[in-house]
Amino acid sequence: MDFEDNQELSQDELFEHYRFVASKGQEPLRVDKFLMNFIEYATRNKIQQAAKQGHIWVNGTTVKQNYKVKAGDEVKVMFEHPPYEFLLTPENIPLDIVYEDDSLLVVNKPAGMVVHPGHGNYSGTLINALVYHFENLPNNSSERPGLVHRIDKDTSGLLVIAKTEGAMTHLAQQFFDKSSEREYVALVWGNVEENEGTVEGHIGRNPKNRLQMMVYPNGDDGKEAVTHYKVLERFGYVTLISCRLETGRTHQIRVHMKYIGHTLFNDERYGGEKILKGTTFTKYKQFVENAFKVLPRQALHAKTLGFEHPVTGEFMRFNTELPEDMVNCIEKWRGYAKHHES
């Protein structure tokens, strides 16, 4: 959050950056603690500063940091400047361009790069790089130039970027119609019993922790989500799988695999940075901790991307090699499994 030393302004002079409505089951909770559960990278000190400066509003009125949020409360964080996705600064950041023509480009995003600006990531994003390298990229419905789809900050791999309005419309329709092809490679905790399978379960925000998504198995909330998985290699305590997305929900693979008991290796947000399978031996713990150091992020790579070209109609398919950190981590597990075969 960017908190500036401003005098209190009226609501119509401020820009809304965040808006949350407390769920029906919300127990009374201080607004600073409530927002900590909802806003990525926020610190309690910064939220308290925002409250002191009159930037936190509940039901249309500014509140102090000790205000207790109750069920049904509408909580907003408001600033004088517009949200940062509207302040796109061109930055000369190198791009790994796999393919490019007049209509589109396919980039291989490294782990650690955020796709578009947002709270805590106002620069160094893929969009900052794109607006530097390419003029007049079309906007999607969220005013994010060229962006047809996205992958998480710590997920590596392929993204298609539209360079024209026509390409944006055509590609976005393919993602909506589920006719695009997206395959990921993931390392997950546990021995996945079935050689292949499908996970179905609506995905929506976790009401207790807005930074997480969760499965609503009865379909009573969230949006439809379908993931097809296939085992590539087994290492005993972890399994290498490929996942083909039928839908593209936020954190879909991460949430679906956790739902069936196979959290992604080193996925901190969903508990995969803990030792979820294996022995209690000190040597094993040291081995896993070393594997975490080799791959300091969730083990997920967007390996294959396929779509129909918006102009030629040709179906195009792109593949990337696994990045070095994933390769090294997989090699470690392969060696461990071989050494500990009974």
Count the alpha carbons within 13 Å of 201 in the hemisphere toward its beta carbon.
19
| CA separation for the pair 112, 323 (Å, rounded) | 12
| Total Cβ atoms within 10 A of residue 189 | 25
Cα 24–chain centre separation: 26
Determine whether 267 is an active site residue: no
Q: Three-state SS for 171?
A: helix
Instruction: At 72, list the tokens.
Output: 């049904």
- Dihedrals φ, ψ of 174, to 5°? -65, -40
Task: Pick the catalytic residue from 32, 73, 152, 267.
Answer: 152
Count the alpha carbons within 13 Å of 82 in the hemisphere toward its beta carbon.
6
What is the DSSP track for 5-51? ------GGGSEEEEEEE--TTPPPEEHHHHHHTTSTT--HHHHHHHH
Torsion sign (Cα): 246, 247, 253, 256:
negative
| Total Cβ atoms within 10 A of residue 78 | 19
| Total Cβ atoms within 10 A of residue 229 | 25
Provide CB contacts within 8 A for 46, sequence distance 6+: 1, 3
For 135, the enclosing helix (H) or strand (E) is none
Per-residue exposure over 286-302, b if at least 16 CB sit within 10 Å of its own CB, e if not: ebbeebbebbebbbbbb
φ/ψ bin of 153: left (φ > 0), alpha (ψ from -120 to 50), beta (otherwise): alpha
Q: End-to-end distance of the chain based on CA atoms, in angstroms?
A: 53
> Is the distance from CB of 125 to CB of 116 less than 8 angstroms?
yes
Active-site residues: which are they?
Answer: 152
